């Protein structure tokens, strides 16, 4: 749980090399030790199944030759050999709240943790001392070694409050920019982090959270305004579409409507009792009221508008408090009606009662998946499903039917199309080393005005495969010229991953004996299916944040949302 003490993993120490020169009394100076991270934790709450990149060239992206690993069920990661570059964490699931992580964490070489605090020191250039003062942490705290979950309740609450400010601002700008794809959220997240640093540079003695846990409304307003400016002027190509929309908005007007509500959410975390912290955190991090409201009110936020929106901001703050504090239905209705009235006074017609509901996602129809033509509920899948081997492979077809809600695929040039990655992993539940990992990169997914999905596997798409037999023999493949049916969309928007087609391709192009040996696996296997970029939801909420990493040098990972379970193949 959030207040549970957890011992940090040890990290590799820097190597000190000594050389002796020849002749006389001359000596060669001892080289400066090189900082490195051998192991550590990904902490935004502990993140399981997150992708951790050793970013040797420090450009924030996974490049050829750079190594990625996955976190375990407690957020631990290990690099062997140790990483001498920056650490970049994406994807995964918060093990306490069960919510997927949609931001980006960074840490410098030598850090034992990657947290929102270390991200401020890497991507925003703040010193650890500046971060300590800004958040009101104990003097001398080394944030590169600080695990907030295993620290004191006060440190944890302050860290959660900061994270809430960053994430809520991120979600709000993504909604305003009409694009909540995975890459967009991660890009905006880092722009918001930079805005925190900019705010601190302008106010070098400022304290975001004082000794009593009170959050500064002035500083949060500054962060929101600077975030709008950052996104509107960013050079990040992943934010090109959002940038053009955000550039039409007034930073001050966005902050007037949103910042007090963001403070309200963060304040609840900063002053929560320890016993209530988990439930309060889950409620705040899953609430979509601010993002939905700002999206609906966007016509009031443009630079050309002059109408007073301060009353709208006050009413939104009350609605957010009602939605996240366990208020009665009557209180929520009253708060929603008050916001409707204030919006109407400002010239906008909205229905605030709908703001608490998520928008823009793919819903898993009936909470079911299909394997080899047989359907299973997600509960059955997670607890263990019995599957009969199909003709073309043990696990031939994996699919789920998707309901398009809102615009989960953001429009690009007037067309709702995006590029996604798919990942599928099978691994033995026993001591055997049998494993099969597949990532398909470069698939195009679209939806039309009627909510019908379509998919294309272009010539540029690639499949990356890793297999390991029970004896430990392994193989890697990279495949091109893929079958258009490898990923397909059938009746009822059934998104289908066709493993049989993949094995046919392997047999035709490569005839690899290791992978051929894995075509008809039997026994009980762990199964993970993940899709990048898009928000996937079940009737219980967000699908799990997962990652599939293809083992082997230069092999990629895919992080996103999906399903994890156990199957017994007969």
In angstroms, rounded to a whole number, what is the distance separating the alpha carbons of residues 25 and 252? 67
pLDDT at 32: 57
- 20 lies in some domain: no
Parts of the chain with a pLDDT under 50: 1-26
Q: What is the Cα gyration radius of the chain? A: 25
Domains identified in the chain, total number: 3
Pair (318, 373) in one structural domain: no
> Are 400 and 419 in a shared domain?
yes
pLDDT at 28: 55
| C-alpha distances in Å from residue 547, one per residue of 285, 368, 460, 492 | 21, 20, 22, 26
Q: Are 567 and 429 in contact (CB under 8 A)?
A: no
Q: Does residue 306 sit in the same domain as residue 331? A: yes
Quick one: 224 and 308 in the same domain? yes
Is 14 inside a domain boundary?
Answer: no
Residues 6+ away with beta carbon under 8 Å from 32: none
* Residues listed for the chain: 570
In a domain, 408, yes or no: yes
Residue 293 vs residues 112, 200, 361, 467: alpha-carbon distances, Å? 39, 28, 17, 47
261 and 392 share one domain: no
Residue that terminates a domain, selected from 150, 174, 193: 150
Do 315 and 410 reside in the same domain of the chain? no
Contact, 258 vs 228, CB < 8 A? no
Q: Alpha-carbon distance 257 to 254, whole Å?
A: 5
Is 544 a domain residue?
yes
**Structural domain boundaries, residue 292:** 152-183+207-359
396-437: pLDDT as tens digits = 899 999 999 988 888 766 778 889 999 999 999 887 788 999
Task: Say if residue 131 is in the same domain as residue 215.
Answer: no
Indicate whether 13 belongs to any domain: no
Q: What is the pLDDT of residue 273?
A: 94
Does residue 193 belong to any structural domain of this protein?
A: no
CA distances from 253 to 190, 258, 312, 347, 493 (A): 22, 9, 11, 15, 40
| DSSP string over 70-95 | E--TTSEEEEEEEE-SEEEEE--EET
Cα angle 402-407-408, degrees, rounded to a multiple of 5: 55
Alpha-carbon gap, residue 162 to 103, rounded angstroms: 13
Instruction: Looking at the structure, tell me whether residues 220 and 336 fall in a common domain.
Output: yes
What gap in Å lies between CA 229 and CA 191, rounded to an integer? Answer: 9
What is d(CA 506, CA 200) in angstroms, rounded to the nearest whole number?
55
Q: Where are the beta strands (DSSP E) in 91-182?
A: 93-94, 104-107, 113-114
H or E element that contains 345: helix 329-346
**Does 549 lie in the same domain as 446?**
yes
Distance CA 491, CA 507 (A): 29
| b/e sequence 277-289, b meaning 16+ C-beta within 10 Å | bbebbbbbbebbb
- Residue 345 and residue 386 in one domain: no
Which of 325, 359, 393 delimits the end of a domain? Answer: 359
Instruction: Write out the DSSP string of 282-301.
Output: HHHHH--HHHHHHHHTGGGS
d(CA 380, CA 567): 10
**Pair type for strands 37-42 and 113-114:** parallel
Of 359, 374, 396, which residue sits at a domain end? 359
Token output for 389: 């081997």
**Residues 222, 86: one domain?**
no
Strands 453-456, 462-468: pairing is unpaired
Do the domain assignments include residue 242? yes
Q: Is residue 7 part of a domain?
A: no
Measure the CA angle with vertex 322, ends 316 and 325; round to 5°. Answer: 130
Q: What's the predicted TM-score (pTM) here?
A: 0.84
CA pseudo-torsion sign 381, 385, 389, 394: positive
**402/523 same-domain check:** yes
Contact between 185 and 170 (Cβ < 8 Å): yes
Q: 508: which 2 tokens?
A: 């035709």
CA 447 – CA 534 distance, rounded (Å): 12
């Amino acid at each position: 749980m959030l207040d549970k003490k957890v011992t940090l993993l040890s990290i590799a120490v820097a190597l000190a090399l000594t050389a002796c020169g020849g002749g006389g009394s001359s000596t060669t100076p001892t080289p400066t030790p090189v900082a490195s991270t051998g192991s550590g934790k990904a902490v935004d709450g502990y993140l399981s199944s997150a992708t951790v990149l050793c970013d040797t060239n420090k450009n924030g992206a996974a490049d050829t030759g750079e190594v990625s690993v996955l976190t375990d069920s407690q957020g631990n990661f290990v690099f062997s050999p140790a990483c001498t570059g920056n650490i970049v964490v994406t994807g995964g699931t918060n093990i306490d709240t069960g919510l997927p992580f949609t931001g980006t964490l960074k840490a410098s070489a030598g850090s034992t943790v990657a947290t929102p605090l270390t991200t401020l020191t890497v991507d925003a250039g703040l010193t650890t001392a500046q971060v300590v003062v800004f958040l009101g942490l104990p003097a001398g705290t080394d944030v590169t070694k600080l695990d907030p979950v295993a620290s004191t309740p006060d440190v944890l609450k302050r860290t959660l409050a900061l994270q809430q400010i960053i994430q809520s601002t991120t979600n709000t700008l993504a909604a305003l920019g009409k694009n909540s794809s995975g890459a967009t959220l991660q890009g905006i997240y880092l722009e918001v982090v930079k805005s925190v640093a900019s705010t601190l540079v302008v106010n070098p003695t400022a304290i975001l959270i004082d000794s009593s846990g009170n959050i500064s409304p002035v500083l949060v307003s500054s962060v929101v305004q600077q975030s709008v400016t950052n996104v509107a002027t960013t050079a990040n190509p992943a934010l090109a579409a959002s940038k053009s929309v955000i550039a039409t908005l007034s930073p001050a007007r966005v902050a007037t409507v949103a910042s007090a509500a963001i403070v309200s959410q963060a304040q609840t975390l900063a002053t929560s009792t320890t016993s209530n912290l988990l439930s309060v955190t889950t409620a705040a991090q899953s609430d979509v009221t601010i993002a939905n409201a700002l999206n609906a009110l966007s016509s009031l936020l443009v630079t050309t508008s002059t109408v007073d929106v301060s009353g709208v901001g006050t009413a939104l703050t009350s609605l957010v408090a009602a939605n996240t504090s366990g208020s009665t239905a009557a209180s929520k209705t009253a708060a929603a009606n008050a916001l409707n009235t204030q919006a109407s006074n400002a010239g906008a017609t909205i229905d605030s009662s709908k703001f608490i509901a998520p928008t823009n996602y793919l819903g898993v129809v009936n909470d079911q998946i299909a394997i080899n033509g047989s359907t299973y509920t997600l509960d059955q899948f997670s607890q263990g499903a019995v599957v009969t081997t199909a003709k073309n492979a043990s696990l031939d077809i994996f699919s789920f039917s998707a309901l398009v809600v809102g615009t989960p695929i953001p429009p690009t040039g007037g067309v709702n199309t995006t590029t996604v990655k798919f990942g599928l992993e099978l691994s033995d539940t026993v001591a055997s080393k049998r494993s099969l990992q597949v990532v398909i990169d470069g698939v195009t997914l679209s939806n039309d005005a009627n909510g019908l999905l379509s998919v294309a596997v272009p010539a540029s798409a690639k499949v990356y495969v890793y297999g390991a037999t029970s004896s430990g023999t392994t193989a890697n493949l990279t495949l091109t010229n893929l079958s258009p049916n490898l990923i397909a969309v059938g009746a009822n928007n059934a998104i289908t991953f066709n493993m049989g087609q993949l094995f046919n391709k392997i047999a035709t192009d490569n005839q690899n004996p290791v992978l051929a040996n894995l075509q008809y696996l039997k026994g009980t296997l762990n199964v993970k299916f993940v899709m990048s970029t898009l928000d996937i939801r079940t009737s219980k909420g967000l699908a799990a944040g997962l990652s599939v990493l293809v083992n082997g040098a230069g092999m990629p990972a895919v992080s996103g949302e999906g399903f994890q379970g156990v199957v017994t193949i007969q």
